[in-house]
Structure 1
Amino acid sequence: MGQKPSFRETLARDGAFTVTYELVPGRSTRARQFRKIIRFLEEASSDDRLHGVSITENAGGHPALSPEVLGREIKARGLDPILHFSCKDKNRNQIESTLFARDREGLHNLLIITGDYPRYGFMGKAKPVFDLDAVHLLRLISAMEEGFVLPEEAPGGGVKLPPMPFFKGCVVSPFKRYEAELLPQYYKLHRKIAAGAHFIITQVGFDARKFHELLLYLEEEGLKVPLLGSVLVMDRRLARIIFRGVVPGVRISRDFLARVEEEEEKLGPRAALIRAAKLIAVLQGMGYKGVHLCGAKPVYEDIVFLLEKAQEFAPRWQEFVPEFQDSPPDTFYLFRKDPETGLNLRERNERADASRAPFSLLLNLFIHDLFFEPGKGLYPHAKRLAQKIAGSRFEPLFTRFEYTMKQLLFDCERCGDCTLGEMAFLCPQSQCAKGLLNGPCGGSQDGHCEVYPEKRCLYVRVYERLKALGQEEELKEGFIPPRDWGLTGTSSWLNFYLGRDHHRHFSSPR
């Protein structure tokens, strides 16, 4: 038997339909579930239906076996592992260290995700750590692929390390209810692709029209990156969990839950496999490059049954589109509906009119342009004043004055590396549970935060404010570098004028 094509090779091959399978490890290698996983891998290795096996990292915010353990087991059996690599639970130095280890072990396929907010842990909830976001992490890995240059201030500074052949993907959710919740997902995807994402996997959903919407959006925007659709093998137990809102960013309606329960009553456990096979056929028919199977038990005969059924259903895929229309009635769709197919026409829907920009936003913009836009207004005078204050006996008083004002106006957290001007004057440090700087995570529900459901998602609010100014598409341009924690508690105004904050990473002069 010849060597199997790798996950990367299959994705690049014209006409190939890529199938990956997601494993969710438990906490221990000594449990029965781990032995089932190993048996599954043994059976999968003698077949060529799966082109990659992914391993989650602390899924749902719970501690679990580190993904590289199973990654080694998968690789040893001739399968291609794809390790989920989340931004949570580790700072940027630990992330870099982990990437060096992944390279050494030849575990180069990575799925980059923000990660679920930590939940239960030893003697209480764990401290949330989101030092980098997914855009930052993709940029870091891209730098390592080209040959990472050590920072000048670090030991061995200036040395260029050998290139590391990572192959990294990202995630996007088209399954958002409102325009202000959906479009920031797509705009962040632009930033992820610009940061070097090699492939895309969707969030889980059951709306064929939404799957199709994402495909059309990528085509219209000229974003030529392979797209895999997530297919959840969902039995009634899992459906009930999702219906309760336990899984961040994933929803089903009461009607869909009732249908799942009814089908399982009639067909037994294979009802979930048949439903998943129909969705695979729909995704392949509409033009997806492949599918990412999740939720399926590690029983290889189930996967064989599922994929054979999908092949059987493929010629009739359009018949099954009506079975996957599970979104709230008021869901925003980017494209007009095609009444013949139940999918989308290549015509954009009209978006709602922008709301009027609040006076506070207009006032903040005026002040920002007056003092913080190079070459404009009072900027040169403010910069000279900042240079005189920095290091003088007036600096502590100046810093207290700044943060007293910003605490009252913006709920400031004294980060010293302010991004208010790039975020429609909303603070991500205090108003996003994960402190994300380049767009939303996928966990929101109906425009509300995954972690604090009583609060609206920060990026929904940012989008609405920018739309009021006609500037919402700025969310897909450029990126905001990560916070410099060395500036915490120092004056962000002085740091800005003296070139010490995140703006120093850009070439434009201050």
Structure 2
Amino acid sequence: MSERRGFDEILRSRDFVVTFELVPGRSTRTRHYRHIIRFAEEVASKGLFDALSITDNAGGHPALAPEALGRELRRMGHHPIIHFSCKDKNRNMIESDLLALDREGLHTLLVLTGDYPRYGYRGRAKPVFDLDSVSLLRMVSEMRRGFRLSPEVPGGGVELPPIPFFPGCVVNPFKWSEAETLLQYWKLVRKVRAGARFVITQVGFCVRKFQELLFFLREEGLRIPVLAGILVLDIRLARILHRGVVPGITISTELLREVEKESQDPDRGREAALDRAAKLMAICRGLGFQGVHICGAPLDVEAAHELLERSREYLPRWQEFLPQFRDHPRGAFFLYEEDRETGLNRPRRMPLTPKTRRGILYPFMELAHRVFFSSRSPLFPYLRRWADKLAHSALEKYFLHLEYALKKVLFDCQECGDCVLPQMAYLCPQSQCAKFLLNGPCGGSRDGWCEVYPGKRRCVYVRIYERLKPEKRPYYLRDLELPPRDWALFRTSSWLNFYQGKTPRSTEPPEG
């Protein structure tokens, strides 16, 4: 049985699924790796978990490639879930890695953007992010159906056999502002449409946010298995998360103080950490999640067994524990009204904040775009003929310098030649997003700040949302899906490319 059928069948046939996350280190020649192997062997013999997942350079640090460990887990009888990120590979290397995973029979993927690269050999590694999670899911979906190679490529004009990948995606519901919350959920809609077959959430300790995600999916009519991320929170992790070192995960000072107090116990808080995780597992099952994804837990079979048994014991009383999981900042945004009796949500939308003040640049740029760069403009036929004459003439290079000098000043242009400014409220994601993302933000922003430049650069998608809100247009981001950048157009004129029909992406401004 293939990995795809295995995990797919598990999700369809079982009431509640439990997966466990493994984080390999930088070498197979260490005690940590041997510990992972022993743990996996014991788990396989006892049948504790439905699947084991393997991270892909978690935290942006180099580590053992997940397929190496996945190969060993598969031999033990596990259903490995391979974390597959966009951060370190261009699209050609991504395709090669996917073909290698197919050869190894590793078909269950957790597709994600990935953490920004940090420490590497002799300095920080170059961030790649040639694809984002939406375009990567779209690529995997096409491979599931069978790639048709372009006649222009070597060996092209043929259709490759379908590959039975079973891709999932991630979502971070633990966002505390209106813009970040809606942007996360809208991106999830695009991920599901692009081919995600299951969802795993980021970890957190706010039950209203867990339930909020389920309400949103139901409201959107998206029937897809969702696993709640459950963190076994010890004092070491609590201090790291409170400092904001791990993108996308936050805990309050109150929760940190609670864990610090627990760490004074003779077992250094082990019992309390397992108990907290077991209660949250029971709550998530009670809320209607199809499973949980356990993170940060010790590689201890006895502790794992205790965690699972205790969560089953707590299940009939899950509502009693709700008051213990309200970890969110003061003034946090919630998409649905609070049910004061239960501390959960009512399925009724909260009103959004008043529209922000309309800026000057956006309406001006939109007007200029509609006049000069819209196929609906009366000037379009004349400008197209003019562009055809200018292209490949002696004046083309001077026109190119003029275009990019102007756009560099206005937008910090990166000379893509395939411009998406009109879709992005005239904010360039190639210069304003550290990960160059085209289909919505990553899950790492915090309080509206970019995960890579906290306190220095605001998330470009939050800024896009704020620009579009006075125009009553932010909801168009929910359905927008842009193809990846075409590097064949790099350092060519995006204006001439538009008129000559070389840009595959629509350049029409969004409608209200």
TM-score, normalisation: structure 2: 0.96
The equivalences for 1:47-86 within 5 A come to 47-86=46-85
| Partner residue, 1:417 | 418
CA distance in 2, matches of 1:231, 1:195: 26
Q: Which amino acid aligns with 2:308?
A: L
Which residue number corresponds to residue 8 of structure 2?
8
Q: Distance in 2 between matches of 1:48 and 1:505?
A: 53
The residue type paired with residue 138 of structure 1 is L
- Check conservation: 1:177, 1:447, Cα contact below 8 A: no
Q: Work out the CA distance in 2 between the residues paired with 1:155 and 1:504.
A: 29
Give me the whole-angstrom Cα distance separating, in 2, the residues matched to 1:255 and 1:359.
42
Mapped partners of 2:48, 2:343: distance in 1: 30
Residues 251-262 of structure 1 correspond to what in structure 2 (within 5 A)? 251-262=250-261
Q: Let me know the Cα RMSD of the aligned residues.
A: 1.6
SS at match of 1:247: coil
Equivalent residues, number = 503
1:293 corresponds to 2:281:
no
Task: Tell me, in whole angstroms, the C-alpha distance in 2 between the residues paired with 1:47 and 1:469.
Answer: 58
Opposite residue 432 of structure 2, the aligned amino acid is Q
Partner of 1:21: 20
8 Å CA contact 2:82, 2:108 repeated in 1? yes
* Residues 219-276 of structure 1: per-residue CA shift (max 9 Å, x gap): 0011111111000111011101111111011111111001112233346312111110
1:404 Cα offset (Å): 1.1
In structure 1, the gaps of 5 or more residues are none
Q: Distance in 1 between matches of 2:357 and 2:372?
A: 24
Letter in structure 1 aligned against 2:135: H
User: Displacement of 1:496 after TM fit?
Assistant: 1.4
Deviation at 1:505, TM superposition (A): 12
Q: 2:491 aligns with which of 486, 489, 492?
A: 489
Q: Deviations over 1:294-336 (max 9, x none)?
A: 0012111111100100000001111111111111111100000
Cα distance in structure 1, aligned partners of 2:19 and 2:335: 28
**Structure 1 residue identity aligned to 2:24:** P
d(CA) in 2 for partners of 1:7, 1:264: 37
Residue in structure 2 matched with residue 464 of structure 1 by the alignment:
466
Q: 1: CA distance between counterparts of 2:379 and 2:465?
A: 29
SS, match of residue 265 in structure 1: coil
Larger mean CA deviation between 343-352 and 366-375 belongs to 366-375
> Where does 1:400-439 land on structure 2 (aligned, <5 Å)?
400-439=401-440
CA offset at residue 504 of structure 1? 7.7
Q: Which residue does the alignment assign to 2:222?
A: 223
Q: Distance between the aligned counterparts of 2:327 and 2:368, measured in 1?
A: 46
Contact kept? 2:372, 2:380, Cα under 8 Å: yes
* Residue of structure 1 in register with 2:362 after alignment: 361
Question: Percent identity between the aligned chains?
Answer: 57
Question: Which structure 2 segments of 5+ residues have no match?
Answer: none
Larger mean CA deviation between 440-449 and 348-357 belongs to 348-357
- Do the aligned partners of 1:57 and 1:66 also contact (CA within 8 Å) in 2? yes
> Which residue of 1 is the match for residue 39 of structure 2?
40
Paired residue type of 1:235: D
Question: In the TM superposition, what whole-angstrom CA distance separates every residue of 1:469-509 from its partner, at most 9, and x where no partner exists?
Answer: 11111111141111111211110111112122232899xxx
For residue 479 of structure 2, what is the aligned residue in structure 1? 477
- Cα shift readout 1:361-405 (whole Å, capped 9, x = no counterpart): 001111111122212332222222111111111111111111111
**How far off is 1:49 after superposition?**
2.9
The residue aligned with 1:121 is: 120
Report the Cα offset of residue 46 of structure 1.
Answer: 1.5
Q: Which moved more, 1:42-51 or 1:209-218?
A: 42-51
What CA distance in whole angstroms lies between the structure 2 residues aligned with 1:343 and 1:86?
33
For residue 159 of structure 1, what is the aligned residue in structure 2? 158
TM score, norm. by length of structure 1: 0.96
Alignment check: 8 A CA contact 2:422 2:507 kept: no
Whole-angstrom distance in 2 between the partners of 1:459 and 1:141? 25
- State the partner residue of 2:276: 275
Residue 349 (structure 1) aligned with residue 350 (structure 2): yes
Residues of 2 paired with 1:386 and 1:171: CA distance?
Answer: 44
C-alpha contact 1:6 1:51 (8 A) present in aligned 2: no
Which residue of 2 is the match for residue 340 of structure 1? Answer: 341
Following the alignment from structure 2 to structure 1, what is the Cα–Cα distance between the partners of residues 318 and 95? 44
Write out aligned runs for 1:116-265 (5 A): 116-265=115-264
Once residues 110 and 507 of structure 2 are traced to their aligned partners in structure 1, the CA distance between those partners, rounded to angstroms, is: 26
**What residue is the counterpart of 1:446 in the other structure?**
447
Q: Deviations over 1:170-210 (max 9, x none)?
A: 11111111101111111111111110000011111110000
Give the letter aligned to residue 167 of structure 1: F
Write out per-residue CA displacement over residues 264-290 of structure 1, whole angstroms, 9 at most, x where no aligned residue.
334631211111001000100000010
Mapped partners of 1:284, 1:6: distance in 2: 22
The answer to which of 464-473 and 278-287 deviates more is: 464-473
Q: Is residue 420–residue 505 contact of structure 2 (8 Å, CA) maintained in 1?
A: no
Q: Give the match for residue 499 of structure 1.
A: 501
Q: 1:504 to 1:97 in 2, by over 3 A?
A: farther
CA distance in 2 between counterparts of 1:173 and 1:452 reads 19
261-270 or 122-131, which deviates more: 261-270
- CA–CA distance in structure 2, aligned partners of residues 382 and 230 of structure 1: 53
Partners of 2:85 and 2:493 lie apart in 1 by 31
CA contact (8 A) 1:202 1:228 kept: yes
Q: Which amino acid aligns with 1:500?
A: K
- The more displaced of 329-338 and 383-392 is 383-392
Q: Distance in 2 between matches of 1:223 and 1:492?
A: 37
State the AA in 1 paired with 2:345.
N
Q: Is the Cα contact below 8 Å between 1:243 and 1:254 reproduced in 2?
A: yes
| Alignment check: 8 A CA contact 2:20 2:293 kept | yes
